[in-house]
Structure 1
Amino acid sequence: FWQYGEWEEVRVDDLLPTLGNKLVYLSSPERNEFWSSLLEKAYAKLKGGYRALEMGYPHEAMVDMTGGVTEVFNLPLVSMNLPELLRNLLAKGALINCANGKGPLEQKNELGILFKHAYSMTAVERVNTSNGFVDLVRILNPWGNTEWTGPWSDINSGEWRTVSPEEQSRLNRVRREDGEFWMSVFDFQLNFDMVEVCHLTQALGEPGAGVKPWNCVMHHGDWVPNISAGGSHKSSLYWQNPQFLLDLTEVDFVPGNTTKTCSFIVALMQKYQRLRRIRVHLFLHIYPAHPKTTFLSSEDLLKIPPICYNHYSSGREVIIHSSLHPGRYIIIPSTSEPNQHGEFLLRVLTEPGNSATPAQKPTPHDVSLIKEPSYPHQAALPSLVSIRQLFNKHSDKKGSCKPLNLHRLLSEALQGGVLAGSEKYLSLEHCKSLVVLMDSHGIARLDWDDFETLWNKIRKWTDIFLVYDTNKTHHLEYREVEPALKAAGITVNDLLLQLVGLRYTEPDLTISYPGFLYLLMKLETMIHKFQAYDMMGQGTITISYSQWLHMTMYN
């Protein structure tokens, strides 16, 4: 399953829950077909149990299954030619769900459509009838049995008598109540009010003949509170948020359309939203840029209005799906309030030939009145190039980093920076735990990919540590622990704070820099493990969330 930019493998056995010798959950009408039941079991294991799959969001499940980008829109708000829009979406391999939310859950309207029930759209066709051409859509009810009973339905519909047998054969029309049915686009708009579209990317490879998925570029990032200067929200877009350069050069090929524009989709996903139980409202802004500009200063942002933006949302993902004239643009992902913590994944979908890359900040030689933002870790830690050299120096011949190697590596990395001297508080036990908590292969050692993930966490947490180390002693005062944890996106209660004081502080009740890294790594890992067993995100398994942290942190 696709999880925040990575494919995660889930292994299951073939023991499926039954009652009265019948499957309790998803089943196929074919007695020997079990792939869907096994897929459901794997997805339930990923999310924490079968109960976690009840009443979810289909568009989020489609992302997890395909690695695509989803958008949700209301049919009354679709102003363009709907059949043409749907045809273009399906031609690019998009998955389309639809629903009617205007009635009681799972009850039928007078023509057989279930309320608040997820249907799939499987085809859009212009059909030749004896009365002229009609646009039809083919809809699938995954439950089967219950179907549309209005015009163009499968059973006893007079409209099909106006269509030749050859045309019906082209449509692969099936005359039985199997859950799949045809209806006119007009009736579709009357009986459905919400559409979910999952745009496919190259993540799955070539989906099928004639299907042309979007090109997709992914960028991981995070917002760290209290790192940069304040100011107005628009000014803080420069100080606190990364910028991404969008180059649009390839114009869409649309027969008969003389408007030369380039289509694109920008999707901003916040990571681990439910895990941390923190609602961050997301913004996306897209600004025009000069052909030679790769970065917008705070002065630029105060002068230039955004050309595209979304209405802020606390959902898992927000998107902008639009088209612009060829040119250069800047994408800025942000939170609705300054100084909010969060990790994000930015995905940019474009037609072949267009691109999106991290925007390059101006070099000192390019700067006149522009103040360059900086991050505290830059004065404390080596660059990524230097740390790669240190990794190669201290890892074994197979490119693996064991706890002792990690201890030597981190000790050398801290020398020479503003945290020099704090390495004496780094213990081998810290490094053993860091290796165990970050090891993705179960071999008690880190390869470069594992270490790079750890190093990115260390850089982010170092920023937070240096902000709250107000006395510059390389130790956090006990009173600074709670706000520092909150800046890292972790909220703890008084009992856990007492536990931190007992278990993770030095004799003078301060936390050293290495101890702070270890504490955050421990907390983050335990929260992830708790979430794996938390049914439906309710904050309880067989013990409470706080009890879980209390128990696991003391180990």
Structure 2
Amino acid sequence: VGIDPAGDGPPQAPSKQRVMWVSLLEKAYAKAHGCYENLSKGTIQYGLKDLTGGAPQVLPLDDDSVKSKVVNGTLWSQLLEWARNGNLIGIHFRVTPEAEDTNLRDGCAYPVVAVKEVDDGGMHRMIQIRNPWTSDFDYRGEWAADSKMWARYPTLSTECSHSDPSLFWVRAAEGEAYEQSDFTKIFSRSILVVTRIFPPSWQMSRVKGMWTLSNSKGPPFQSLDTKGNWLVNPQFQIHCKETKTICFIDVGQSDLRLKGEDEYKSPVGFALLRARTIQDKGPNITLQDLLNPPPIAYRFGRDASLAFVVTLERKDSPYVVVAFSQEGVSGVGRVHCTVWHNKPLLLRGGETVHLQDGSERDRGDEDEELVASKEELPDADPQDQHIAVAGRAAAPAPREDKSAREKREAEEDQIAKARQGASDAKKAVQGSLPVSQSVPAGGAGLRPKDAV
């Protein structure tokens, strides 16, 4: 990594002779993933999540559900809140016909620095964006630094400083006309990436499960899903201890960059439901029963997360996060569920690794044995306390016939071989993650009463 004496290059150059921490951080991150080349295979949200421990949100601005939030002003309110709370916001730019003259680089990332509302003959909603390539790609949009628009609004010009040439402003709305704004026109095909940095009072809980050939079914509510087969997939239970528990949920799978791969062949997604809904309705569950509003998080990638936080109530507890993939596509591998929450809760269904010093950490994806254990919960039905291995939901085991036993043993043998191969190839640095509380492996697995 070279030094840019002029000091006007992008930070990863680095941009100043005496600034070395960016290069050192990049080197450590590359070492954790095997080589520098593997870093080019990830996405913005992967890097920000890994470096901050925050929760990633990906909002495609051309998605119908996101468009509706743009039009009704919900997204703007969220942007104000995210910026006020110190969250990281960025835009993965995709060029549109309206944006061709702006001189923005197609396929590049632009950080959002500030979000403002200024009253100057009407409410102006402005977004400040950093341009790392100012020397060759100065912003030339309607609200560029030399635009005549600023002379019309002296108060707005004073509030929106242009002292830094690497920053530019885009108007998100004038009055309430969000859909006709410069921001909407320029970034209509772009992707808004938000990394939620939660307050210190929040906690994070994480448990792991396992994809196998028989429990990586899905997606739900499709033509091939006629019997609710996805309900046998890994389940993670959320037991709330207090009312109005605000949560953000993320379900992910192994980072392929740790294995030198760059394409996810297995999609990942999840559904959030009340436990009693699964027990009462079984395979007759409908889209309206889900607590995570459509579109359901489902994508070919490392993580799938909620678009916004959800509020869970103790009276409706426990809740169940059901991970799903695509039958016939997914194979053997790790799946994990991470929940950020503002009040204490218990997350069950996977495994939490206990260290000798009493702390907890995520030990990687393929490096420890799966452990089955039993755990009692207050006010829980003893008949529901079944053993689950690594997050895999388990009902009382029926008596196996010979063919079923042989099939199970063959599958377990395949899992063992896959784990051994991944372990031999692994070159990852094990890093610490804060975990809110001790959650032993195993837990009650929910099954619909009439599931096949």
1:390-442 superposed Cα distances (whole Å, 9 cap, x missing partner)? x9xxxxxxx79xxxxxxxxxxxxxxxxxxxxxxxxxxxxxxxxxxxxxxxxxx
Structure 2 partner of 1:40: 26
1:45-100 superposed Cα distances (whole Å, 9 cap, x missing partner)? 22333333336411211111111221222224322213212112223332111133
> Which amino acid in structure 2 is aligned with residue 315 of structure 1?
G
> Which amino acid in structure 1 is aligned with residue 133 of structure 2?
W
CA contact (8 A) 1:280 1:342 kept: no
State the Cα distance separating 1:162 from its structure 2 match: 1.8
Give TM-score, length-normalised by structure 2.
Answer: 0.64
State the Cα distance separating 1:134 from its structure 2 match: 0.6
Correspondence for 1:188 among 175, 180, 183: 183
**Cα 1:123–1:354, aligned 2, differ >3 Å: closer, same or farther?**
farther
> Which amino acid in structure 2 is aligned with residue 528 of structure 1?
K
1:274-315 superposed Cα distances (whole Å, 9 cap, x missing partner)? 52776222231122344xx9xx44x64224434136253221
Q: How does 1:253-264 map to 2 (within 5 A)?
A: 264=247
1:101-158 superposed Cα distances (whole Å, 9 cap, x missing partner)? 1369xxx8212222221101111101132x2221100001123333322333223444
Structure 2 partner of 1:349: 340
User: How far apart are the structure 2 equivalents of 1:150 and 1:19?
Assistant: 28
Structure 1 partner of 2:450: none
> Which amino acid in structure 1 is aligned with residue 299 of structure 2?
S
1:217 aligns to 2:205 (yes or no):
yes
Structure 1 partner of 2:415: 487
1:159 aligns to 2:150 (yes or no):
yes
Structure 2 partner of 1:525: 423
User: How far apart are the structure 2 equivalents of 1:20 and 1:141?
Assistant: 19
Identity of aligned residues (%): 19
Structure 1 partner of 2:370: 456
> Which amino acid in structure 2 is aligned with residue 89 of structure 1?
W
1:261-283 superposed Cα distances (whole Å, 9 cap, x missing partner)? x7643211001445277622223
CA contact (8 A) 2:2 2:13 kept: no
User: How far apart are the structure 2 equivalents of 1:232 and 1:51?
Assistant: 39
CA contact (8 A) 2:250 2:306 kept: yes
1:496-520 superposed Cα distances (whole Å, 9 cap, x missing partner)? xxxxxxxxxxxxxxxxxxxxxxxx5
> Which amino acid in structure 1 is aligned with residue 91 of structure 2?
C
Greater Cα offset, 134-143 or 87-96 = 87-96
User: How far apart are the structure 1 equivalents of 2:4 and 2:157?
Assistant: 42
User: How far apart are the structure 1 equivalents of 2:307 and 2:417?
Assistant: 30
**Cα 1:136–1:114, aligned 2, differ >3 Å: closer, same or farther?**
same
1:335 aligns to 2:325 (yes or no):
yes
CA contact (8 A) 1:70 1:197 kept: yes
Give 3-state SS (helix, strand or coil) of 1:243's partner.
strand
Structure 2 partner of 1:368: none
1:429-482 superposed Cα distances (whole Å, 9 cap, x missing partner)? xxxxxxxxxxxxxxxxxxxx99x963427977xxxxxx9x98999xx9xxx6xx
Alignment: residue pair count: 356
CA contact (8 A) 1:97 1:120 kept: yes
Give 3-state SS (helix, strand or coil) of 2:123's partner.
strand
1:198 aligns to 2:194 (yes or no):
yes
1:71 aligns to 2:52 (yes or no):
no
State the Cα distance separating 1:317 from its structure 2 match: 0.8
Structure 1 partner of 2:271: 285
> Which amino acid in structure 1 is aligned with residue 194 of structure 2?
C
Structure 2 partner of 1:133: 123
> Which amino acid in structure 1 is aligned with residue 139 of structure 2?
W
> Which amino acid in structure 2 is aligned with residue 286 of structure 1?
L
User: How far apart are the structure 2 equivalents of 1:289 and 1:175?
Assistant: 55
Max radius of gyration: which structure? 1
Give 3-state SS (helix, strand or coil) of 2:150's partner.
helix
User: How far apart are the structure 1 equivalents of 2:184 and 2:369?
Assistant: 51
Give TM-score, length-normalised by structure 1.
Answer: 0.53
Correspondence for 1:88 among 65, 81, 85: 81
> Which amino acid in structure 2 is aligned with residue 190 of structure 1?
K
1:301 aligns to 2:285 (yes or no):
no
1:312-354 superposed Cα distances (whole Å, 9 cap, x missing partner)? 322111122344674433221133227842211211234x237
State the Cα distance separating 1:191 from its structure 2 match: 0.8
**Cα 1:359–1:101, aligned 2, differ >3 Å: closer, same or farther?**
same
Structure 2 partner of 1:441: none
Structure 1 partner of 2:248: 265
**Cα 1:163–1:263, aligned 2, differ >3 Å: closer, same or farther?**
farther
Give 3-state SS (helix, strand or coil) of 2:307's partner.
strand
CA contact (8 A) 1:62 1:198 kept: no
CA contact (8 A) 2:212 2:333 kept: yes
Structure 2 partner of 1:545: none
User: How far apart are the structure 2 equivalents of 1:199 and 1:25?
Assistant: 19
CA contact (8 A) 1:28 1:34 kept: yes
Structure having the larger proportion of residues in helix: 1
1:204-228 superposed Cα distances (whole Å, 9 cap, x missing partner)? x74xxxxx8x643222221334589
Q: Which structure 2 segments of 5+ residues have no match?
A: 173-180, 217-223, 358-362, 373-388, 391-399, 430-452
Structure 2 partner of 1:413: none
Q: What's the Cα RMSD here?
A: 4.5
User: How far apart are the structure 2 equivalents of 1:39 and 1:321?
Assistant: 29
Give 3-state SS (helix, strand or coil) of 1:321's partner.
coil
Correspondence for 1:174 among 162, 165, 181: 162
State the Cα distance separating 1:170 from its structure 2 match: 5.2
User: How far apart are the structure 1 equivalents of 2:194 and 2:346?
Assistant: 20
User: How far apart are the structure 1 equivalents of 2:349 and 2:10?
Assistant: 51
CA contact (8 A) 2:243 2:312 kept: no
User: How far apart are the structure 1 equivalents of 2:123 and 2:164?
Assistant: 24
User: How far apart are the structure 1 equivalents of 2:37 and 2:212?
Assistant: 34
CA contact (8 A) 1:124 1:136 kept: yes
